[in-house]
Structures are given as structure tokens and as C-alpha cells.
Amino acid sequence: MTAFVYESERYVPEKIQVLGVSVEPAEEGRKLRERVTRDCQEDRPHISLDPYPLRLLIDPDAKLIRAIGAENEGHWAGLIASPVTYIVNRSGEIRWAYVSASAADRPSPVALAKSAVAVARGEAPPNDYPGKM
Amino acid sequence: MPKMRIGDSFPAAKLQDIDGETVEFPAVFAKAPATVVFFYRGRW
């Protein structure tokens, strides 16, 4: 999540929206947002956080998480979402995807932003970073 | 294993954000030329 805030200068001018989904209660999501906000204000105070560059959504029954097939039922913490990242165009069509092998496996923040900018401009995502399925 | 592939339509769902505002999929995608949706584990 921090990476999305730190790279927001790539997203905001293109009017790209960023949505994060988890089973976490809203209160935990607000705490996470506060932590990321404090980090950003200390590390990169030039970044504007008004309006906030991403929205966190709660999926307590994992309805959407199950609909995309990202549910992880066997985790010690209970049902959680496996990490997956999509870029979706205005029509609701998935144009790019990165299915992480683990919580530590995340798409390159810069490459992800470049792919999102391409989709926002109606172009194909760059071939040099095709995502991962 | 995620079912959704490149070219698929994102499924329909109605969620709330952490501030209590309702967000409807796929209608929310019409609000921007592109949307990044990331699913994260939470429950740290």
C-alpha cells in the first residue's frame, strides 16, 4: 500500500483510481491508512495526500475475494485474500494482472504504474513488464 | 488460484470503504480511465 501512495504522482495526473480490498474490519484499515500517511509525511512530504490517492475497501464475507478466486481459507489467521493486483479499464475489462506467489512477491511499483498509465491512455501495457498469472 | 484472466470482465459486487461509503463493482470503473485493484491479506 505504501508503494501506491509513494508512486501517486504517476497515478493522480492520469486520474487513475487505486482500490485495495481485504477482509480486514474498517477500523484496521483506518489504522493502516494512518500509518502509511505518517510514513509518507516523514519520507516524502512533497506528496499531496489530499485527496488521498487510494481507497481501502472491506470485504468481510470475502464475496468479491471469492468471486475472483483469491480466497485463502487455510491461513492461520483465518480467511484472507491472496495477494493479486489487476489493472481494469473504464469498461470493467481486466487489462493486466499480477498473481503474487507470496505476500512478499509484489509487482514493481514503477512498472505497475507505467502499465496503468498505458491502460488509462487506451494503449496496451508495455511488453517489458507483462505481469504474471 | 485467481479465476480472472486478462480480457475477463470484473465481477459484480457491492462493498463499503473504510469510511462507510458504498462502492459498487463494476460501476466504479466508469469513474476513471483506469483502476488498479489490489487484494491484500490484512490481519497482520
Mean pLDDT by 10 residues, chain A (133 residues): 87 93 94 93 91 94 94 82 94 95 87 95 90 83
Other Cβ atoms less than 10 A from the Cβ of B33: the count is 18
> Do A47 and A65 sit in the same domain of this protein?
yes
**A45, A91: one domain:** no
Three-state DSSP class for A15? Answer: coil
Q: Which of A122, A70, A61 is nearest to A97 (CA)?
A: A70
Give the CA dihedral A60, A30, A70, B16, nearest 10 degrees.
50
pLDDT number for residue B2? 77
Q: Inspect the interface and report whether the beta carbons of B33 and A89 lie closer than 8 Å.
A: yes
Residue A16 and residue A117 in contact, taking contact as beta carbons nearer than 8 Å: yes
pLDDT of residue B44: 54
Confidence of residue B22 (pLDDT cuts 50, 70, 90): very high
A32 and A17 in a common domain: yes
Helix (H, G, I), strand (E, B) or coil at B3: coil
User: What b-and-e string marks burial along A30-62, b requiring 16 or more CB atoms within 10 Å of the CB?
Assistant: eebbeebeeebeeeeeeeeeeeebbbbbbbeeb
How does the average pLDDT of chain B come out, rounded? Answer: 92
**Whole-angstrom Cα Rg for chain B:** 12
pLDDT at A131: 84
Its domain, for residue A50, covers 1-81
d(CA A43, CA B21): 29
Quick one: A57 and A87 in the same domain? Answer: no
Q: Are residues A72 and A101 in the same domain?
A: no
Cα diameter, chain B: 33
Flag if A89 and B5 touch (Cβ within 8 Å): no
User: Nearest Cβ partner of A81 from B1, B34, B40?
Assistant: B40
- Note if the pTM is more than 0.90: yes
In this complex, do A21 and B8 lie within 8 Å of one another by their Cβ atoms?
A: no
